[in-house]
Structure 1
Amino acid sequence: MRLISFLSAVLVFGTAAAQTITSPDQHLTIAFQTVTPATASPGQSLTGLPPSPQGQLVYRVTFHGKELVESSALRLELRDQPALGTAVRIVNVSTSSIDETYRLPHGKTSTARDHCQALRLDLEETAPPARKFIVEARAYNDAVAFRYVIPAQPGLSEYVLTREATEFRIAKDPITYALVLPNYRSMYESEFLKLPASAFSNQGGVKSSSLIGLPLLMEVPGVAWAAITEADMRGNAAMYLENPSGSWAGHYFESRLAPQVEDPAVAVRSTLPHNSPWRIILVGTEPGRLIESTVITNLNPPPAISDISWIHPGKASWDWWNGSQGRDGKPAFTTETMKYYVDFSAHSGFPYMLVDAGWSSLDNITRINGRVDVPELVNYAAPKNVRIWIWLHYRGVVKQMEEAFAIYEKWGVAGMKIDFIERDDQAGIDFYYKVAECAARHHLMVDFHGSTKPTGMERTWPNVMGYEAVLGMEQSKAGARDNPDSHVTLPFTRMLTGLMDYTPGGFENATKADFVPRGLAPMVMGTRAHHLAMYAVYDAPVQMVADSPAAYRDQPSFEFIRSVPASWDESKVLAGLPGEFIVMSRRHGNEWFLGAMTNWTQREVEIPLSFLPSGSFTAEIYADAADSATSPKNISIRKQGVDRAKTLKLSMAPGGGYAARLAPAKP
């Protein structure tokens, strides 16, 4: 269903009055106006902006009547031209409302609602060449968003953006959970650091700066939880953030776009008209509300694929993480070993098996290297109702995309895990879209690794089933970075942007004191229940089951992994704080699954089951045992009757967890 109603269209000449839209629930407001240095709000610095009759375009955001974002500048710096947005007037304003529901074939919900108030500002410079541009904005109950639109016009023959200087002036010095990255060529695989925003401008008492990847989660005390991210990236470069103040009192951020690898002086080069990505500020009274939001997919175009009958979420066995252990427990990257994993998938009811790196060369992704014969494996798996995913290197895909994807379709491959992309400049973003489109023509699903963060393109291209861009369980093979503190931060940070291929399933559970990193049969920190809960917490439509088949043999707790879905009809965050703990419930059909994890702090949480519909349910519970703090593989499994009037008491050991399957009781 789609409803768009135009509420007003007003011509506004020579005025600096604020143009405002408010969310449907009336709690969240975004306003735009032009200001001069003389009319700037108290405390706002417009240093470096030229005075003008109409002035600088700014926006501000309030939540429940409290200021969340102070007046913040909007401007674009174009090559060989003055900045656009510093001396403008609003010449036309129109508002509208959107109320649309749409289907998602996989992810945290099967039905999403796009419900907002919308605003369009037509702007013109106050001096020749009087260039024009548009700002489109939307106010949702859980977010505000805006983007720049540059129309074709006499004053601009080509759009060459050198810098976007969008400001995010947070009303207080917020506590941030920030992904600090070394440069624009990373894989987003690092911790989210809990620091005040001012820490990123003045380290060691001197002016300094840090490059921050999205999303950026913030707690603005007494106002809201908020996060900055982006959506609908086609034709653009990824946005990063920097605190440019250099001051111990500075607590604002400014956008930084990934520069073109081939021409670092340019961020975006395009013909006109051109749309920037949507700049999004997610907002909620609690951090869990941000996880539930569908704003990022709302702001992407509808599906470009008419027939999605071949796109299926599901779990996959995987050889790489555990060291390609074969039937004898020894590592062997061979066709016979991969058949062992196919047999494991078939026995477990998993629809997929993933063959990782090594079956082809990095540069030639159509030539089988002799160790693993992919067509033979596909033919072996087909009668067992298992389909094969294959690993590819970015370098080979760039060289052979059309040729290789056609061959994989002929072989009968289900999908591709494309790794080591390591770029999200304009050409890098273009690569993601080219892969999605080409793969769709050949009925291939895609999982991006060594990648940028998601931005909602899975709505447009539903064959995109995952992104890595996370400090995942693979880190356990090398060090201690993958741990319960990180596990309970990721849902509130990285997972805000969407699909997250963390690759769970480690069954060699260890305490912090006993953990030793190793490549073969790796250990994982956290209890068995903690790692089961990841399957109900982390969003991954193709969810890995990463340990060796032998690790799950004769383990009663493996039944939860067998039964838990990889995609959901509904998701709710019941409790939690980033870095502390999380409790989530998710619905698939008429069953609910509960997942809870804590950091290294032992914790008891009482969870009302009011999210359940009426009727009686049987809860199959996988909880920490009495001795899980010292013997983390031990787990308590039990069944009990529950209904929506009851409360579950979750007792979690240090690094512990809780997982449950709640099914309607049989008559």
Structure 2
Amino acid sequence: MTFKPLLLLLGLACAPAASAAPKSYTLSSPDGELQGSVTVGSDLRISLEADGRTVLAPSPVSMTLAGGETLGHDPRVVRIRKHSADETIESPFYTKARVSDRYNELTISFRSDYSLVLRLYDDGMAYRFVTQKKGTIVVEREQADFTFPEDYTTRAPYVHRLELKDFEWQFSNSFENTYVREPMTRLDPRRLMFLPVLVELPEGRRMLLTESDLDDYPGLFLNASPREPQLRSVLATYPRTVENPSGYNNQQQIVIDREKFIARTDGTRSFPWRIAIVTKDDAGLLLSDMVYRLGAPSKIADTSWIRPGQVAWDWWHALNLYGVDFEAGINTRTYKYYIDFAARSGLEYILIDDGWSVNGPADLMQVVPELDLEELVAYGRERNVGILLWAGHAPFENDMERVVRHYAEMGIKGFKVDYMNRDDQQVVRFLHRAAEVCARHRMVLDFHGVFKPAGLNRTWPNVLNFEGVFGLENLKWSPATTDMVTYDVTMPFIRMAAGPVDYTQGAMRNASKKNYRPVHGEPMSQGTRCRQLAEYVVFFSPLNMLSDSPSNYLRERESLEFIAGVPTVWDETVPLAGAVGEQVAVARRAGDVWYVGALTNWESRDMELDLSFLGEGPWTVESFSDGPNAARAARDYRREKAALDPSGRLKVHLAPGGGFAARISR
């Protein structure tokens, strides 16, 4: 690791007169292509240029505290500091083994004991407030607006609620929706958008808005203005009254009413980074590490016990087994069968989802009598298969220490915690506490029913997965008008730039556009079989679910063999093609083996993938490509093994809703 500080104290300024003209402080990215500015006048405004062109107009930022003080109102500069860094971050459970952390930084300190930190990377800008106040402070609101010089087109996910009502109603949601594509001023001002949000800049550039190092503070929503090209910040207010437990089987905590402030927190602290990732094209979004870089450093010194991997999962296919001599259900015999399947297939885990604990009492210590967990743990240990348990938010939080200690001592390897469905300060605190408690007991976590990643997987690397994605589960109930195929070639550029996705792919029942229909008990996917295989390469999930039934996989052994062999964390990632909403292709390396995945929308597509970066061969390509009838019979595929052309060019054809997957080795 290298670090090159260029600490520069630019001056101790006397407080300017109230009538003084605004002054701008500028900072460039290490490669000089991006330039950020902080303008200090009657307020604070941040702007950004790319190659000399304004892509973010001066945008007001402030933070209002209880008692009337507003950080950023009539600011008086007392000190300016600049420094640069060039570091390497070890990232063992990520899309690459090491992350470059090269940036320039500007810190402006003001009277009233606060600072604004601006940081420029080659692929974007980030800023945050830092306070040095005594005791506890109450933050009433934060202004983190993004103002644009033109009415740029956006791709944004609205909060999905059947009734819009007010913003307070929308704060509770699952953070799952498809994307709308509209000019900024045509977005619905009645609706909140959750992050990340994509802005299409001129000349093919892209800007992705999100946040990182979210700790003891609510997450950020955006809201559009019909009058000007501006995305305004909205943050969930603090819950005053919470019905706990409540909701589905008493698994949830339901907010009844809220306070008028957003956070009560330490007066001396750094606040979350507000991020504008900027790339020259769509494919650049597949490679951005800004959210991971800006997360707080790992709090786990020894990560050797953390085990990512593939997971045999019961819920999506509703425990529908066939060809067995027992009645499938939530019972010991069924899960021994899942363990045997996982062991034979080389999978690291099984996940026992909802139903293993007694419904109703919100008590995770009460296991249904049909299930002997200790027997299953011993059975799995003999076969090198770990067991993960599903848990609702309310019973898990309400008895966390006892639950985690008990099941860790039993030998359970981790939890999938569900139904948080909020990102106010209470829930953000819960995620950090759950990560810390599970880390002490060497347990991994998969957060379902949760907002997007915001740096937590760097800070607590035992948190391997996050939902906050419109995943395959939605096709159990979504109408035929739902366009999951287009979502699949949009989400990797937007949501996945924030971190891992618990998308849960792997369907063996595959349907063309006209043949798809929702079937809750025996669900299907949209698009081809090869699309499902390719998603194990394109989508990043350190805990990767095999969502379909073992019975279906055992009838499709070629597909199972490929899926089970795909690593879930990577040493290197290379984007091969990218056009948001149209196509995506990536290559990922684990050790000496490369995997390639490609997806298209509902249009058939021919791709020529440049793999010349692999270097001298010979390289052998084992590929799965859409069969000649895949447009009609989506399960049709062709498996081939051939030498890679010496040029390194690989030609592939994708059917409508299709995919391509390959394993490349010497």
TM-score w.r.t. structure 2 length? 0.92
Aligned to 1:264: 259
Residues 579-632 of structure 1: CA distance to partner in whole angstroms, max 9, x if unpaired?
Answer: 111111111111111001111111111111123133221000100011110111
Cα distance in 2 for partners of 1:109, 1:333 equals: 38
Aligned to 1:339: 336
Aligned to 1:71: 58
Match of 1:290 among 248, 266, 285: 285
Q: CA deviation at 1:149?
A: 0.7
Q: CA deviation at 1:436?
A: 0.2
Residues 135-157 of structure 1: CA distance to partner in whole angstroms, max 9, x if unpaired?
Answer: 1111001111110011126xxx6
The residue identity in structure 1 corresponding to 2:421 is E
Cα distance in 2 for partners of 1:294, 1:382 equals: 36
Aligned to 1:24: 30
Match of 1:162 among 125, 134, 140: 140
Match of 2:40 among 9, 34, 38: 34
The residue identity in structure 2 corresponding to 1:607 is L
Asked if structure 1 preserves the Cα contact closer than 8 Å seen for 2:321 and 2:551, the reply is: no
User: Is residue 2:586 matched to residue 1:570?
Assistant: no
Any residues of structure 2 matched to 1:32-111 within 5 Å, and which?
32-35=38-41, 55-111=42-98
Aligned to 1:252: 230
Cα distance in 2 for partners of 1:379, 1:171 equals: 62
Q: CA deviation at 1:233?
A: 1.1
Q: CA deviation at 1:345?
A: 0.5
Residues 140-189 of structure 1: CA distance to partner in whole angstroms, max 9, x if unpaired?
Answer: 01111110011126xxx642111111221122212111011141111101
Aligned to 2:295: 300
User: Is residue 2:518 matched to residue 1:517?
Assistant: yes
Aligned to 1:48: none
Q: CA deviation at 1:197?
A: 1.0
Cα distance in 1 for partners of 2:78, 2:512 equals: 63
The residue identity in structure 2 corresponding to 1:88 is P
Q: CA deviation at 1:79?
A: 2.2
Asked if structure 1 preserves the Cα contact closer than 8 Å seen for 2:46 and 2:59, the reply is: yes
Aligned to 1:128: none
Cα distance in 2 for partners of 1:655, 1:56 equals: 50
The residue identity in structure 1 corresponding to 2:640 is R
User: Is residue 2:399 matched to residue 1:404?
Assistant: no
Q: CA deviation at 1:365?
A: 0.7
Asked if structure 1 preserves the Cα contact closer than 8 Å seen for 2:345 and 2:561, the reply is: no
Aligned to 2:363: 364
Aligned to 1:112: 99
Aligned to 1:318: 313
Cα distance in 2 for partners of 1:192, 1:440 equals: 35
Q: CA deviation at 1:327?
A: 4.6
Residues 196-235 of structure 1: CA distance to partner in whole angstroms, max 9, x if unpaired?
Answer: 11112xx5xxxx4321100001111226201110001111
Aligned to 1:441: 440
The residue identity in structure 2 corresponding to 1:533 is A
Moved more, 620-629 or 163-172: 163-172
Residues 328-349 of structure 1: CA distance to partner in whole angstroms, max 9, x if unpaired?
Answer: 4765222211111111100100
Cα distance in 1 for partners of 2:96, 2:437 equals: 26
Cα distance in 2 for partners of 1:517, 1:254 equals: 37
Q: CA deviation at 1:300?
A: 1.7
User: Is residue 2:525 matched to residue 1:528?
Assistant: no
Moved more, 293-302 or 7-16: 7-16
User: Is residue 2:151 matched to residue 1:173?
Assistant: yes
Gaps of 5+ in 1: 36-54, 125-130
SS in 1 for 2:198: strand
Taking a change above 3 Å as real, the CA distance of residues 151 and 4 of structure 1, as seen in their structure-2 partners, is farther
Cα distance in 1 for partners of 2:409, 2:646 equals: 50
Aligned residues: 627
Match of 1:280 among 275, 278, 298: 275
Q: CA deviation at 1:28?
A: 1.1
Cα distance in 2 for partners of 1:335, 1:4 equals: 57
Asked if structure 2 preserves the Cα contact closer than 8 Å seen for 1:613 and 1:644, the reply is: no
Q: CA deviation at 1:274?
A: 2.5
Aligned to 1:414: 413
SS in 1 for 2:561: helix
Q: Where does structure 1 differ by over 4 angstroms across 4 or more consecutive aligned residues?
A: none
SS in 1 for 2:622: strand
Task: Give the % identical residues.
Answer: 33
Asked if structure 1 preserves the Cα contact closer than 8 Å seen for 2:620 and 2:642, the reply is: yes
Aligned to 1:193: 180
Cα distance in 2 for partners of 1:372, 1:147 equals: 49
Q: CA deviation at 1:76?
A: 1.2
The residue identity in structure 2 corresponding to 1:544 is M
Q: CA deviation at 1:193?
A: 1.2
Aligned to 1:46: none
TM-score w.r.t. structure 1 length? 0.92
Match of 1:635 among 637, 646, 661: 637
Asked if structure 2 preserves the Cα contact closer than 8 Å seen for 1:471 and 1:482, the reply is: no
Asked if structure 1 preserves the Cα contact closer than 8 Å seen for 2:186 and 2:226, the reply is: no
Gaps of 5+ in 2: 162-169, 241-257
Aligned to 1:453: 452
Cα distance in 1 for partners of 2:405, 2:615 equals: 47
Any residues of structure 2 matched to 1:628-667 within 5 Å, and which?
628-642=630-644, 645-664=647-666
Any residues of structure 2 matched to 1:446-525 within 5 Å, and which?
446-480=445-479, 481=482, 483-525=484-526
Aligned to 1:395: 394
The residue identity in structure 1 corresponding to 2:490 is T
CA RMSD between the two structures: 1.5
Taking a change above 3 Å as real, the CA distance of residues 223 and 133 of structure 1, as seen in their structure-2 partners, is farther
Any residues of structure 2 matched to 1:543-582 within 5 Å, and which?
543-555=544-556, 556-582=558-584
SS in 2 for 1:466: strand
Cα distance in 1 for partners of 2:586, 2:549 equals: 27
Cα distance in 2 for partners of 1:492, 1:267 equals: 30
The residue identity in structure 2 corresponding to 1:120 is T
Cα distance in 2 for partners of 1:615, 1:289 equals: 27
Asked if structure 2 preserves the Cα contact closer than 8 Å seen for 1:173 and 1:220, the reply is: no
Cα distance in 2 for partners of 1:554, 1:536 equals: 22
Aligned to 1:225: 206
Moved more, 468-477 or 638-647: 638-647
Cα distance in 2 for partners of 1:281, 1:371 equals: 51
Q: CA deviation at 1:644?
A: 6.4
Asked if structure 2 preserves the Cα contact closer than 8 Å seen for 1:63 and 1:223, the reply is: no
Cα distance in 1 for partners of 2:534, 2:429 equals: 35
User: Is residue 2:184 matched to residue 1:184?
Assistant: no
Cα distance in 2 for partners of 1:10, 1:187 equals: 46
User: Is residue 2:424 matched to residue 1:425?
Assistant: yes
Q: CA deviation at 1:350?
A: 0.5
Aligned to 2:220: 239
Asked if structure 2 preserves the Cα contact closer than 8 Å seen for 1:180 and 1:192, the reply is: yes
